[in-house]
Amino acid sequence: MGCCFGKQASFRKKHSGKDDVDIEPGLFVSANKLKFIDVYEIGRSLGQGGYGEVREATHRDSGQLRAVKIFTKENTNSMPEAELLNEVNVMKSIDHPNIVRIFEYFDSIKKAYIVMELCKGGELFDEIIKRRQFSEDDAASVAKQLFSAVDYLHEHNVIHRDLKPQNILLENKGELNSIKVSDFGIAKVSKRFKRLNEVIGTAYFMAPEVISGKYNFKCDLWSCGVIIYMMLSGHPPFQARNQEELFVKISKRDWSFREPVWAEVSRHAKDLISALLSPMETRLNAKEALAHPWIQRVCPEIQNTQSLEPALDNLKGFQSKGKLRDALSTFITLHCISNDDTRGLKEVFRSIDKNGDGKLSKAELMEQYIKFMGQEEAKEEVKKIMKEVDTDKSGFIDYTEFLKASMDQRRLMSVGNLKAAFAMFDKDKNGTITKKEIKDAIGEDGRVLDKIWRDIISELDTNGDGEIDFEEFENVIMGKMPRNHI
């Protein structure tokens, strides 16, 4: 078998101009040419599948814990290479708090590895088995996050096609306030209303139109309906002795609320499920589901003023210091900062993101700043924030942009984080980094023009020897920081 990872269609954000590069997380997901065991220490098994297994892994330079999906090529039951390639290409440009992040990938003769965000809480499926029946508050909290992730995917023309509790992970054990959608092996990059015909997915969660081979993005919303039904009742809405019988029941939409368990469930919850387990033409989309009364009523605003005010202050004071600083601060945010470090900021992000679309608009920011200042002053502050923080020029503050700008800059650009980032760039561990090593870590897919690289290298290489040692690296970066942040 040859190389797993090549070029394949994936969604891309529009760029701001021919001679510039927009700093976005996808730039920092690359194929690592080193041996996997030289970069990561493999830990305990997290799960087994036909393709191989998922294990915990520790990044040797940064100490960060990751999850790694190990694909064994010799295994005849293994995940097809096309699925593995598809998963990488779809995931690398995703930037949402409720979708698992990918960091890098490795390829060898016998194995391939996808390194992803570690979710310590296991699968939502296990939580359903354990609890048997969720409270409406808990189920609605999960549903709101799920709809937010699905809305983001659909806005970017990605159809997941395999949403199920086994593919929804909990960031921490027993905590439902931070779920992550995972497993994009059979996801499809396709315009939302384009009809697809491939019968694919997991039987219990497949929409009737998928079974008949004429479906679009709304198949994901049907799966969401099945998941909510399971959380509130403890079992799926369709049960059968075999797949043929199951498909007949799904096709006829043969389900009900007749069981005793549903007597105590609110009318709003049942209304939402009915609106999801309905014909494709009348089924809610994710944005409509987010606005449903059950989601709005059961999920109150997150009140976290202890984290909110410092985050808003940091956003207000953030200054973009050119492509070098933007690239490095994004790289450190992605690769050197743990989920535990950003936990409070994630809550703040969710509290500002009123419509749950996974990004912050000018209006949503205005709503926060107007609490602390006059309307005109708030308008000017938000205008400045958009200019400084929206580095990919999308017109919104995306999740990673928010994290890097709202975090204390002294903490983000600490010597420890700079050393960890430098070590990640320094692939051959000779104490210096070259243009090629930086290009391997950032923008290896050719989206960063050579002119940009020449500017970055010349800025870092202060003694002109063609290589950058840590002292040069630290001096240039720290010299760009505001005095009160040093």
Model pLDDT for residues 39-81, shown as the tens digit of each residue: 999 999 988 866 778 999 999 988 899 999 998 876 655 556 6
Select the CATH number that applies to the domain covering 124-298 from these four: 3.30.70.1890, 1.10.3720.10, 1.10.510.10, 3.90.1150.110.
1.10.510.10
Residue 12, SS3?
Answer: coil
Model confidence at 336: pLDDT above 60: yes
**Regarding beta strands 111-117 and 102-107, do their DSSP bridges make them parallel or antiparallel, or are they unpaired?**
antiparallel
Best CA proximity match to 273, nearest among 226, 318, 240:
226
Q: What is the pLDDT of residues 296-310, one digit of tens each?
A: 876 655 555 567 888
Model confidence at 115: pLDDT above 60: yes
Q: What is the pLDDT of residues 189-233, one digit of tens each?
A: 887 778 898 999 999 999 999 999 999 999 999 999 999 999 999
E strand or H helix that includes residue 58: strand 52-59
**DSSP tag of 319:** -
Q: Is 69 annotated as a binding residue?
A: yes
* Fold of the CATH domain 25-117: Phosphorylase Kinase; domain 1 (3.30.200)
Task: Report the alpha-carbon distance of residue 393 to residue 205 in Å, rounded.
Answer: 37
Within a 13 Å sphere around the CA of 91, how many CA atoms are in the beta-carbon half? 27
* Fold of the CATH domain 305-485: Recoverin; domain 1 (1.10.238)
Contact, 352 vs 370, CB < 8 A? no
For 458, residues 6+ apart whose C-beta sits below 8 A from its C-beta are none
User: DSSP readout, 115-145?
Assistant: EEE--TT-BHHHHHHHHSS--HHHHHHHHHH
Task: Report the alpha-carbon distance of residue 424 to residue 440 in Å, rounded.
Answer: 10
Task: Report the alpha-carbon distance of residue 345 to residue 311 in Å, rounded.
Answer: 7
The single residue of 107, 151, 162, 461 carrying the catalytic annotation is 162
At residue 302, the pLDDT reads 53
Beta bridge partner(s), residue 55: 45, 68
Q: Could you tell me the residue ranges of all domains in the chain?
A: 25-117, 124-298, 305-485
Active site residue 138: no
Model confidence at 15: pLDDT above 50: no
Model confidence at 481: pLDDT above 70: no
φ, ψ for residue 382, nearest 5 deg = -65, -40
Model confidence at 461: pLDDT above 70: no
